[in-house]
Amino acid sequence: MINVAIVDDDEKTLEQTRACIEHLEDLPEEVEVKTFSSGEDFLEKLKPGEKYDVLFTDIQMTGMNGLELGAAAHERFPHIYLIFLTSFTHYAVDSYIVDAYQYILKQQMGERIPPVMRKIILEIQRERKKFRIIEAVNDTQKIFYQDIIYIKKVKGSKYVEYMTLHGNYRERIPIDQLMKELNSMEFIFVERSFIVNIEHIIRLKGNIVYMENGDEITISRGRLTDVKMTLSKHWGNL
């Protein structure tokens, strides 16, 4: 199930956006759509444990605007796909500040939303298939790649520790071997004892990467150029 929220203070736009999604045929996964009249309405009605995969929102709204809502949604759902809807092209640059997945003019919704939704569903399905099984004494843990914030070698031991959105876990494996087994472009070495998931980096300043969970990790001098180039390419393609 893919959960989609649409937020707009214009009822006509809400229904048009909903129709663009619900009238799609032959989708590879079931989609549930809910509409909200404001950013405040969306946040107030969130239930404990409720999760949204996709958020369509107008940028210019009374009260909380779309950029503010996008930032708030990212805090609650780090992997949410943000699609900004607006009638004004000059908001396009602002939308990238909060990692917008797409920027769609309202007059182009009918032609743009269907292919965007199909692409998002395929990307979500692909991400959900990527996970790692960690086995320990009397315990087996399934960790999805998208939930891993970073991985560090435990000093003085043969273990690595996974820092994830849902807790921390340990596995007995050399960190270089783990990197090969992950085999994913979203993970990069920032120094020989730390692998970070670039999807969870919120800021790069000097030789420090700032992670979504508040941790700060120092990039080694030898890896600084590669990390900067990787992040520049990744953020530039948002």
What range does the domain containing 73 cover? 2-128
Residue 236 has pLDDT above 60, yes or no: no
**Looking at the structure, do residues 144 and 88 belong to the same domain, yes or no?**
no
User: What pLDDT score does 95 carry?
Assistant: 44
Q: Which two tokens stand for residue 78?
A: 């780090």
Which domain-ending residue is among 109, 128, 147?
A: 128
What's the pLDDT tens digit per position in 69-98? 998 998 888 789 999 998 766 554 444 445
Q: pLDDT band at residue 168, thresholds of 50, 70 and 90? A: very high
Three-state secondary-structure class, residue 6: strand
Residue 157 clears pLDDT 70, i.e. is over it: yes
Q: What is the CATH number of the domain that holds 23?
A: 3.40.50.2300
Residue 21 or 102, more confident: 21
11 and 98 both lie in a single domain: yes
Segment 101-141, tens digit of pLDDT? 788 888 899 999 999 999 999 888 888 888 999 986 677 88
211 torsion bin: left (phi>0), alpha (psi -120 to 50), beta (else): beta
Burial call 92-126: b when 16+ CB within 10 Å, e when fewer = eebbeebbbbbbbebeebeebbbebbeebbeebee
pLDDT at 196 over 90: yes
- 8 Å CB contact between 161 and 170: yes
The structure tokens listed for 2 are 């893919």
Examine the fold and report which residue of 110, 128, 146 is the final residue of a domain before the chain moves on: 128
> What CATH number is given to the structural domain containing 153?
2.40.50.1020
Count of domains for the chain: 2
Same domain assignment for residues 153 and 199: yes
Res 176 pLDDT > 70: yes
> Is residue 237's pLDDT more than 50?
no
**Mean pLDDT rounded to a whole number for the chain:** 88
- CA–CA separation, 179 vs 156, rounded Å? 19
In a shared domain, residues 76 and 121: yes
pLDDT of residue 91: 52
Whether 195 has a pLDDT exceeding 60, the answer reads yes
Residue 171 has pLDDT above 60, yes or no: yes
34 contacts 5 by C-beta, under 8 angstroms: yes
Cα–Cα distance measured from residue 55 to residue 52, given in angstroms and rounded to the nearest whole number: 7
Sequence-distant (≥ 6) Cβ neighbours of residue 228 within 8 angstroms: 204
In this structure, the answer to whether residues 123 and 18 fall within a common structural domain is: yes
The predicted model scores a pTM of 0.63
**pLDDT tens, 22-54?**
998 888 788 999 999 999 999 999 988 788 999
